Amino acid sequence: MITVYGIPNCDTVKKARTWLDQAGLAYQFHDYKKAGVPADRLPRWLAELGWERVVNRAGTTWRKLDEAQKAAVVDAASAAALCLAEPSVIKRPIVEWADGRLSLGFSAELFDAHR
């Protein structure tokens, strides 16, 4: 089963879900706002995708953090703490594909490669 992690009002998540629907691929959606960030999955995401990529430093949530909070994110452990406290700082969507591979973000080419 494919699992899409994100927040429902994110435009990129909407595009990813639309692509999956149009491709006829079944998936489950994990909403960070309602269900939180899965703490058991986060270490794998940070290790495989890179904590620098998972933390969205271009997003609104990052920009709203104070300078001390930003400066404290220096490694996977500090990134994990921030992601758990502020789920919207995670780049979206993170997709766990049926074969176990992970992807970050959305593009049709990226999703085609994981089909």
Q: What is the mean pLDDT of residues 20-36?
A: 96
Domain extent listing, the chain: 2-114
**Dist CA 72 CA 80 (whole Å):** 11
Q: Which of 7, 10, 55, 89 is catalytic?
A: 10
Which CATH superfamily does the domain covering 2-114 fall into?
Glutaredoxin (3.40.30.10)
Closest CA to 115 of 33, 35, 45, 19: 19
Which residues lie closer than 8 Å to 56 by C-beta, 6 or more apart?
A: 62, 89, 90, 91, 92
CA 97, distance to chain mean position in Å, is 13
Q: Is 83 a catalytic residue?
A: no
* pLDDT score of 42: 97
Q: What is the pLDDT of residues 63-88, one digit of tens each?
A: 999 999 999 999 999 999 999 999 99
